[in-house]
């Protein structure tokens, strides 16, 4: 079985976000595998161990992504492809186009990815990728069972569980709770440096400027307002309701 895992490198969730000239400052920041993608890597390895096969990592981003890729290779993935040509970078539309172009050049049965990235939280890339490839997509998986070409997925559904079946090939996105990702072993870390990592450019993928043209413009990036102490309203019920309604309208501007 050929299993592909879409991988992204993101800020460590413990890092403090600093903005400079409207952009997130990356100097001195620790980067890690996107936590949701880590679940996808682990699930790919478990399926590989159960059904035999090959796990290939696919990523689009700057050269620093290699660190996350090598970590996933040390976990047990077999090889990786990285689109680190700046011409390939862009919004969710662009990234899904690039991933589809990379994936279309190789055999695949199952594509796994994180449900979302912890930096932008859009949750769009995998859905768009499935549409580009013309294959089914199941999101927010908390359990995956593969039998032949049939897949049964338990998915998180507003606090309950929904069970969905499908036929390979398909895209599945991993939700927290799907598994417990393993730590790379010392042997795995040594082997990771020797595993194939292929770099691809816009010329390799034969993508046009129209293919790569983004559809989203970020107008402003800002930190949320610091939390303030809550207010306790007291007095007659009618007066409290009137004061609450006025505060929601004039101060919070939510009604």
Task: Using the predicted structure, report yes or no on whether residue 22 has a pLDDT greater than 90.
Answer: no
Angstrom distances, CA of residue 38 to CA of 35, 57, 173, 221, 253 = 5, 11, 11, 27, 39
Calpha distance 147→129 (Å, rounded): 24
If asked whether residues 185 and 235 sit together in one domain, one would say no
- For residue range 150-169, list pLDDT tens digits in order: 999 999 988 899 999 999 99
Q: Chain-wide mean pLDDT for the chain?
A: 93
Query: What's the pLDDT at 212?
Result: 93
Task: Using the predicted structure, report yes or no on whether residue 231 has a pLDDT greater than 90.
Answer: no
If asked whether residues 204 and 95 sit together in one domain, one would say yes
For residue 220, being part of any structural domain is answered with no
Q: How many residues does the chain have?
A: 255
Task: Using the predicted structure, report yes or no on whether residue 36 has a pLDDT greater than 90.
Answer: yes
Calpha distance 191→158 (Å, rounded): 41
Percent of the chain having pLDDT more than 70? 100
If asked whether residues 88 and 122 sit together in one domain, one would say yes
CA triplet 94, 97, 103: central angle to 5 degrees? 140
Calpha distance 176→34 (Å, rounded): 12
- For residue range 183-223, list pLDDT tens digits in order: 999 999 999 999 999 999 999 999 999 989 999 888 888 88
* More confident of the two residues 21 and 204: 204
Structure tokens at 66: 């290699």
For residue 57, being part of any structural domain is answered with yes
| pLDDT confidence band for 136 (50 / 70 / 90) | very high
* More confident of the two residues 5 and 219: 5
- Residue 135 has phi, psi (to 5 degrees) of -125, 165
- For residue range 37-96, list pLDDT tens digits in order: 999 999 999 999 999 999 999 999 999 999 999 999 999 999 999 999 999 999 999 999
If asked whether residues 129 and 237 sit together in one domain, one would say no
Query: What's the pLDDT at 2?
Result: 97
If asked whether residues 43 and 14 sit together in one domain, one would say yes
- Three-state SS string across 43-101, please? HHHHHHHHHCCEEEEEEECCCCHHHHHHHHHHHCCCEEEEECCHHHCCCHHHHHHHHHH
Alpha carbon 147 to its chain's center: 26
Q: What is the CA radius of gyration of the chain?
A: 22
Structure tokens at 164: 């969905």
Calpha distance 81→99 (Å, rounded): 10
| Residue matched to tokens 């199941």 | 138
If asked whether residues 41 and 146 sit together in one domain, one would say yes
If asked whether residues 199 and 151 sit together in one domain, one would say yes
* More confident of the two residues 146 and 216: 146
Domain count, the chain: 2
77: domain range?
2-212
| pLDDT confidence band for 226 (50 / 70 / 90) | confident
| pLDDT confidence band for 135 (50 / 70 / 90) | very high
This prediction has a pTM of 0.87
For residue 217, being part of any structural domain is answered with no
With beta carbons less than 8 A apart as the criterion, state whether 50 and 70 touch. Answer: no
């Amino acid at each position: 079985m050929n299993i592909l895992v879409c991988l992204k490198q993101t800020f460590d969730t413990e890092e403090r976000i600093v903005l400079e000239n409207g952009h997130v400052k990356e100097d001195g920041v620790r980067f890690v595998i996107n936590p949701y993608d880590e679940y996808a890597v682990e699930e790919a390895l478990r399926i590989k161990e159960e059904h035999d096969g090959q796990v290939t990592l696919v990523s689009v981003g700057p050269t620093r992504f290699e660190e996350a890729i090598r970590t996933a290779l040390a976990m047990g993935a077999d090889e990786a492809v990285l689109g680190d040509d700046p011409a390939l970078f862009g919004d969710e539309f662009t990234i899904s186009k690039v991933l589809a172009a990379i994936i279309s050049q190789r055999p695949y049965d199952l594509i796994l990815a994180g449900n979302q990235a912890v930096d932008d939280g859009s949750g769009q890339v995998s859905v768009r990728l499935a549409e580009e490839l013309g294959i089914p997509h199941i999101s927010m998986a908390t359990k995956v069972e593969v039998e032949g070409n049939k897949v049964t997925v338990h998915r998180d559904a507003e606090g309950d569980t929904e069970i969905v079946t499908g036929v390979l090939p398909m895209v599945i996105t991993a939700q927290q709770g799907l598994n417990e990702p393993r730590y790379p072993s010392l042997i795995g870390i040594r082997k990771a440096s020797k595993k194939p990592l292929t770099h691809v450019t816009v010329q390799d993928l034969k993508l046009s400027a129209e293919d790569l043209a983004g559809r989203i413009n970020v107008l402003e990036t800002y930190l949320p307002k610091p939390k303030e102490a809550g207010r306790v309203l007291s007095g007659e019920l009618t007066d409290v309701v009137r004061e609450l309604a006025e505060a929601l309208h004039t101060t919070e501007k939510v009604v």
